């Protein structure tokens, strides 16, 4: 007898990226990598507060306009990935200003990322290619981790952190909220990085870093403190 049962393909989830930044463009590539393995996301495009960016595009994905599209596409998930070294401390306030319910936020994990036993990843978080969370690692909300970064066992990464490429975080490290860890930096085991601190490119952290500090060098030394 003929089989009249039909397999249905799950509908792709709609997604908006905010803002039209380097992080968001890289997130679009993560979307394509995910969809290459299983059709999961329908990326509608980017939204941005700068009217001069409206109408631009990245590949097949347009900058649709401003925040009005959050209401226009209420069925879409949002990944908000603002932040650069010069303004990373404003990430929490900027993301909060979107005034979205928690369930609207998506997290994206590149298929090549390795997530070990006991690891957790918060909402609105982006893990790029070849990121490794070894075992029992907790990554907070609204975190961005660039490619090839390794975070060792039992480490904790606070909400709103930005982590550059090829960062090495050893076991048992605690990173406070709203920190920026520059590409190529190294943090030895059991260290603590205080909230709102910046670790410079290639820095090697062998001592605890107080909150609101900027450190750089090998070994890392305080350049300045901000309040």
**CATH value at residue 211:** 2.160.10.10
Question: Over 70: is that where the pLDDT of 3 sits?
Answer: no
Are 116 and 150 in contact by the 8 Å Cβ rule? The answer is no
- 42: in domain: yes
Neighbours of 214 (CB within 10 A): 19
Same domain for 114 and 76?
Answer: no
Radius of gyration of the chain (CA): 19
pTM exceeding the 0.85 threshold for the entire prediction = yes
| Same-domain pairing of 195 and 135 | yes
Pair 92, 113 in one domain: no
Q: What is the pLDDT of residue 21?
A: 96
| End position of a domain, from candidates 104, 130, 159 | 104
Is position 220 within any domain? Answer: no
Looking at residue 224, its pLDDT comes to 80
Structural contact between residues 106 and 15, judged by C-beta atoms closer than 8 angstroms: yes
pLDDT score, position 218: 95
Helical (H) or strand (E) element with 126? strand 126-127
Question: By C-alpha distance, which of 33, 205, 8, 209 is closest to 126?
Answer: 33
Beta-strand pair 138-139/204-205: unpaired
Domain stop point among 81, 104, 127 = 104
pLDDT, tens only, 117-175: 999 999 999 999 999 999 999 999 999 999 999 999 999 999 999 999 999 999 999 99
In this structure, the number of other CB atoms found within 10 A of the CB of residue 139 comes to: 25
Residues 123 and 89 in one domain: no
- Tell me if 147 is assigned to some domain: yes
- Please give the tally of structural domains in the chain: 2
The average pLDDT across 53-73 equals: 97
Range of the domain at 172: 108-215
The b/e string for 141-152 (b: 16+ C-beta within 10 A; e otherwise) is bbbbbbbbbbbb
Whether 224 is covered by a domain: the verdict is no
Write down the pLDDT at residue 8: 54
For residue 8, tell me if it sits in a domain: no
Of 104, 133, 156, which closes a domain?
A: 104
Q: What is the CATH number of the domain that holds 26?
A: 3.40.50.20
Q: Are residues 95 and 168 in the same domain?
A: no
Output helix, strand, coil percentages for the chain, rounded to the nearest 5: 15, 30, 55
CA distance 15 to 44: 6
Average pLDDT across the chain, whole number: 95
88 and 142 within one domain: no
Residues 160 and 180 occupy one common structural domain: yes
For the segment 26-32, the average pLDDT, to the nearest whole number, is: 98
CA–CA separation, 79 vs 95, rounded Å? Answer: 10
């Amino acid at each position: 007898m003929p089989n009249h049962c039909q397999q249905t393909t799950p509908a792709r989830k709609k997604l908006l990226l905010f803002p039209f930044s380097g992080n968001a463009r890289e997130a679009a590539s993560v979307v394509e990598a995910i969809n290459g393995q299983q059709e999961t996301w329908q990326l509608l495009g980017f939204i941005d507060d700068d009217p001069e960016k409206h109408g631009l595009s990245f590949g097949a994905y347009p900058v649709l306009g401003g925040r009005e599209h959050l209401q226009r596409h209420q069925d879409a998930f949002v990944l908000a990935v603002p932040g650069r070294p010069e303004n990373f401390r404003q990430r929490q306030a900027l993301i909060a200003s979107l005034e979205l319910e928690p369930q609207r936020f998506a997290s994206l994990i590149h298929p090549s990322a390795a997530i070990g036993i006991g690891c957790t990843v918060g909402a609105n978080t982006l893990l790029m290619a070849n990121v490794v969370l070894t075992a029992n690692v907790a990554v907070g909300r609204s975190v961005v981790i660039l490619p090839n970064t390794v975070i060792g066992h039992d480490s904790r990464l606070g909400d709103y952190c930005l982590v550059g490429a090829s960062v090495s975080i050893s076991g048992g490290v605690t990173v406070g909220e709203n920190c920026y860890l520059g590409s190529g930096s190294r943090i030895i085991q059991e260290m603590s990085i205080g909230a709102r601190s910046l670790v410079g490119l290639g820095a090697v952290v062998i001592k605890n870093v107080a909150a609101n500090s900027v450190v750089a060098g090998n070994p890392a030394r305080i350049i300045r403190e901000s309040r």
